[in-house]
Amino acid sequence: MGRLVVVSNRIALPDHSKNGAGGLAVGLLDALQEQGGLWFGWNGEIREITGEDEPLYTEQDKNITYAACSLTQNDYDLYYSQFSNTVIWPAFHYRLDLVEYQREAWEGYLRVNQMLAEKLYPLLQHNDVIWVHDYHLLPFAAALRLHQVKQPLGFFLHIPFPAPEVLMALPDYQEILRLMTAYDLLGFQTERDAQAFLSAITQETDVVTVEKGIYQAYGNTFHLHDYPIGVDPDSISKLAQGPLPPKMQAIRKELGDAKNIIACERLDYSKGIPERFLAYESFLEKYPEQRGNIRYTQIAPTSRGEVQAYQAIRHQLETETGRINGKYGTMSWTPLYYLNQHFDRRLLMKIFRLTDIALITPLRDGMNLVAKEYLAAQDPADPGVLILSKFAGAACELTEALLVNPYDRDEVARAIYQAITMSQSERVDRHAKMMAILQHQTITRWRETFLDDLYQILE
């Protein structure tokens, strides 16, 4: 079995929490720790332009080698802030109105991928298997192939892949498709995403089906499959159990018999938070008897604060929070709490366990692990209710959730009422069925299934 090389935009250096790569790090670290390997990517730092090539930062921790490089301010702006996050991210989340395309950014995106490939190439061994992650690195395999790299290259897209009609709005979409076929294995969150990619490429060139899941296009042979990412339900359950900190206990006591709605995600327009606020307002309007008996807490820490679209949504949420509380609140009751801050994950899992309803209604999402974490954190004997957008990848698996159209505020309002009035027996039954799926489709199974398929290409 060859050495595993993991490539991601950001890497989680050991003992450096500020460089953490979020939830992605969980599955990748386990894979690397099992067999040893190399983790390569950007270290999150911006360097001065000195005219000299900066050497890679490398660190060895047990059986993992970490290799990281920095970016110049110009490369960061073009590759990360502009093309990755104002072209690929909004387009792949069906928000073409937020795409800000610039030819210079596309060229910078390609250039940084080529630079990263040049830095990784000398570190490679002949029997390596390379696993590349996410939308920042769509052209990375093609850049490595320019160095005559023959090792198996796998890619996993953590975000949705758009329908062909949406993708075609991007000026360079044909080149993106061609470059992606340089990977030997292309993995997507759902079958819908995998089929969207195949449909897009079929419309642009001749595609030969070698056998099910194996195709040829642009002179390349690639495998195509869906790999729904999961969580570790057992570890989440352990985190969720036990007493709350004193301050949280006081808040819970203050709630009494009132129902508590929770939503937690980073601040992003793809999450549908403004639409969710309006749906909650519709609930308060349609079911006035529930006023004073419910509270909605929205946790949304800022991300990508330098991008104008994110600044705008933060201002919008702050305005809507004040308006809704001013319209429906009383001296003794605040209907909506909006918290623009980060919560420790261990505390968050405990909060999930003591929350009656999770309101997770993204406008579009690759998977949405928060929905799965909420379920795993529940008390199986008295679980809460998951309200989930049908446009989240998780909706393909979690069919026992209350699935809603996030654009339909009345439908979401009715789902909130259904969740509030749902019997304990129905809650237990729905939760048990979804937990059976989570226990099967864990993050470990996601990792092992993808890597098994990738290693088979090596054989």
Q: Which residues participate in catalysis according to the annotation?
A: 158, 365
157 contacts 194 by C-beta, under 8 angstroms: no
Distance in angstroms (rounded) separating the CA atoms of residues 110 and 75: 10
Q: What is the dihedral of CA 347, 349, 354, 357, to 10 degrees?
A: 130
**Sequence-ordered alpha helix ranges (H) in 256-408:** 273-286, 308-328, 345-353, 369-377
Residue type, 7: V
Asked if residues 91 and 162 have their Cβ atoms less than 8 Å apart, the reply is yes
Burial of 292 (0-12, 13-18, 19+ CB in 10 A): middle
How many of the other CB atoms lie within 10 Å of CB of 289? 6
Helices (H) and strands (E) in the chain, counts: 17, 16
Measured between alpha carbons, how far is residue 146 from residues 172, 256, 276 in Å? 20, 64, 47
Paired with 355 in beta bridges are none
Q: d(Cα 279, Cα 406) in Å, to the nearest integer?
A: 8
3-state SS assignment for residue 71: strand
Reduced to 3 states (helix: H, G, I; strand: E, B; else coil), residue 157 is coil
Backbone angles phi, psi at 51, to 5 degrees: 90, -10
What ranges in 19-88 are assigned the alpha helix state H? 24-35, 73-75
| CA torsion through residues 34, 36, 42, 43, sign | positive
Decide if 269 contacts 315 (C-beta within 8 A).
no
- DSSP three-state, residue 245: coil
Strands (DSSP E) found in 73-180: 129-133, 153-156
Give the number of other CB atoms < 10 A from CB of residue 141.
26
Residue 209: Cβ within 10 Å count? 11
Tokens 């009345």 appear where?
410
Sign (positive/negative) of CA torsion 437, 8, 173, 311?
positive
How far is residue 288's CA from residue 292's CA, in Å, rounded to a whole number?
Answer: 9
